[in-house]
Amino acid sequence: MTDIKLKAADGSGEFTATVWMPKGEDTAGAVVLIQEIFGVNDALRETGQLLADMGFIAIAPDLFWRQEPGVNISDKSEAEWKQAFALMNGLNQDLAIEDLKVTLAAARKLPGANGLAATMGFCLGGRLAVMMATRSDADANVSYYGVMLDNLTSEFDNIAAPLMLHIAEKDEFVPPAVQETVLDALEENEWVDAFIYPGVQHAFARPGGVHYDARAAIIANGRTTELLAEILE
């Protein structure tokens, strides 16, 4: 695991991206990991290492750098939740997408990269992964329990690469009516596969999280791995 610096497209400065490299000498596809509202935290770092162990390059940019660089908090206390929501509310998502595009371009050119790159995001990152599906040239995009997707439906016609959605049936941040709106808007899109995981809550795949559900997480991660292996190799 190493940190690199990338220049923001708007010229406002540099941000850090953490990189995990797979072992071996073969070239590999890259996955841009998109953070939750807790920053590039220990749970996301665990996911980055897992991707590297599976033979992918993983790279996670710090999207809160304009507010507070280096955020690494958890879901374990009220104070951390308060800080996380404040950071999310202060995030300019259009600028975050530009940072992700810079990261995507860098990922394609990292040493050992084969030029193919996908995105994979969780919660807030799940929303941004869908926005990358509509606004970038990523080779695939994976969204875990993305929030506020119902106000992106006007962009869905722009999706032109595989997009996988993992939806928690009991997501406290994405009620059934919102889920239905999103699924109805995507029903005819041949690029999209959406899966609903019964009985689980938001963040069911967060390692060590309060709502972690091993069975749902393993099933979702297996589907994600199959997609990434198909598209990036």
Residues taking part in catalysis: 171, 202
CATH code 3.40.50.2300 for 2-232: no
Q: What would the pLDDT profile of 112-121 be if each residue is shown by its tens digit?
A: 999 999 999 9
Model pLDDT, residue 26: 85
| Domain limits, the chain | 2-232
Q: Is 106 helix (H, G, I), strand (E, B) or coil?
A: helix
In this structure, the strands spanning 14-20 and 57-61 are antiparallel
For residue 34, the one-letter residue type is: I
Query: How are strands ordered across the β-sheet holding 2-7?
Result: 2-7, 14-20, 57-61, 28-34, 113-122, 140-144, 163-168, 192-197
Answer whether 87's CB lies under 8 Å from 71's CB: yes
Sequence-separated (6 or more) residues with CB below 8 Å from residue 229:
none
Tell which residue, 55, 54, 56, 32, has the closest CA to residue 44: 32
Phi, psi of 14 (to 5 degrees): -115, 150
Sequence-separated (6 or more) residues with CB below 8 Å from residue 182:
149, 150, 153, 165, 194
How far is the first Cα of the chain from the last one, in angstroms, to the nearest whole number?
22
- Of the chain, the percentage scoring pLDDT greater than 70 comes to 100
Q: What would the pLDDT profile of 111-165 be if each residue is shown by its tens digit?
A: 999 999 999 999 999 999 999 999 999 999 999 999 999 999 999 999 999 999 9
Q: What would the pLDDT profile of 65-100 be if each residue is shown by its tens digit?
A: 999 999 999 888 999 999 999 999 999 999 999 999
Q: What would the pLDDT profile of 29-52 be if each residue is shown by its tens digit?
A: 999 999 999 999 999 999 999 999
